Amino acid sequence: MRGVALALTILFFPAAAMAADIGATCYRACEDSTSSNPEFKACLSRAADAADAKLNDGYKALQAAIRKAGKEMGQSPDIQLSSLTTAQKTWIAYRDENCTFEDELAFGGTAIGGNYSACLCALSLERAQDFARIRKHLLSDE
């Protein structure tokens, strides 16, 4: 029954499914697979690194899609690529500051560092999904 509910959620509420996937990737997988705080933090760090790699791949794919769209339209994509770079630098500053805030919610406890990595993982995956949305719906590139 639970599987049917999950399938219906994915079908009718893709944003909820996406959030569930991020929760599983950035939180539950490490909670379920580790038995100590150091192992948990190391797992979260690996998850953040993997999410960062997906983010970088998504950024490169979006750059390529912008170049392709510019070429198809007979236009230089320099303005759009510059805007993407500026937006990404601004987003990275936001992400890092937000994750520092989330890490500080540990109030000096043992979750420090782990909260930061989990946040990096979650926000990086969300941003990578945002890049995919832009490519698909604004540039018709899949």
Contact (CB, 8 A) for 35 and 107: no
pTM of the model: 0.83
CATH annotation of 2-138: 1.20.1270.180
Residues 6 or more apart whose Cβ sits within 8 Å of residue 87: none
Q: Please write the tens of the pLDDT for every residue from 42-97.
A: 999 999 999 999 999 999 999 999 999 999 999 999 999 999 999 999 999 999 99
d(CA 123, CA 51) in angstroms, rounded, equals 9
